[in-house]
Amino acid sequence: MVDIPRFLTHRVSHVVALAGVVLGLVATLYWTFLFFTVGPEPLPVEAPPDTATPRGADISIDRIAAMHLFGEPGSDAAPRTETLNETKLSLVLHGVFVADKADASTALISQRRNNPKLYAVADRLPGSARLEEVYRDRVVVSRGGVRENLSFKREDQIIRPGTGARRSNADRAESSSRRQTASSAAKRNPRSLIARTLAKHRDEIDRDPRKFIESLGLTPSERGGYVLGTFADNDAGLEPGDRLLSLNGRPVGNPEQDRHQLEQILAGRSVEIQLQRGEQRIKFSLSLD
């Protein structure tokens, strides 16, 4: 005989277990269906920071220029010397040797009524001054840190109509004083020396100019110009072996033609000389006053 309560209890447990398996299969099929039809939700991707310069950003040209990427303009430019004041020192400029290298230039300078001496750049000058720079028409000196120009002496030769007859006693006294000073300095004045030499040796110059040139210590060179021998004067900055190339821009080396230049030179107040010393060319301006 079957025990009905026991049978029902055993049967219900099997049904419950079977129902659980069925529900699990249904759930698995459901999630599988969603996975292949809908797909997983994409994960959020963090965008990299934008490092590019905004297209509309303004670039300051002034700011870039202020950085002086290629150096500051004019930082190496030499200061202008033309506008420097003329020195009040009692110095006289007689001549300048302008070399290719600025620090190799020299100048003939004297204190008033004294013989000129040759000074190089950075040398001490009379009056506690220092020679700083040498140019064709002047030199720059410094005194106590103040830079000044020392130019060639130029007398005012302008004669105005009607002023000759109204000269004052002071003018005449000053003129007399100048004549006395000029007379005492005539022996060392280049213009007077050249004029006396021409007057004394005029016949010899006309007869044989080459012989006269050689008697002065100048030897015509095959390369042009004259080689300085005994003519060289160390006090004036000239050295034996220097080759004279030109006077006032005109080449020299032909005694027949060069003798005519002497009178033209005397008509000026200075003479520009060009020398060849080894591999270096030197320009020299000599005052004739």
Q: What is the pTM (predicted TM-score) of this model?
A: 0.44
98, 105 contact by CB (below 8 A): yes
What does the pLDDT look like over 245-254, one tens digit per residue?
988 888 998 8
Assign 10 a pLDDT band (cuts: 50, 70, 90): low
Q: Which domains does the chain have, with CATH numbers?
A: 91-151 (2.30.30.830), 185-287 (2.30.42.10)
The overall average pLDDT reported for the chain is 71
Mean pLDDT lowest among 127-141, 171-185, 197-211, 254-268: 171-185
Assign 26 a pLDDT band (cuts: 50, 70, 90): low
Element (H, E) at 31: helix 4-37
Quick check: 11 pLDDT over 50?
Answer: yes
How far apart (Å, rounded) are the C-alpha atoms in residues 283 and 28?
110
Q: Kindly report the CA angle at 170 between 166 and 172, in degrees rounded to 5?
A: 65
266, 195 contact by CB (below 8 A): yes
- Please give the torsion angle defined by the CA atoms of residues 127, 130, 132 and 134, in that order, rounded to the nearest 10 degrees: 50
Residue 73 or residue 172, greater confidence: 73
Residue 112 or residue 59, greater confidence: 112
281, 231 contact by CB (below 8 A): no
Instruction: Compute the radius of gyration of the chain from its Cα atoms.
Output: 50
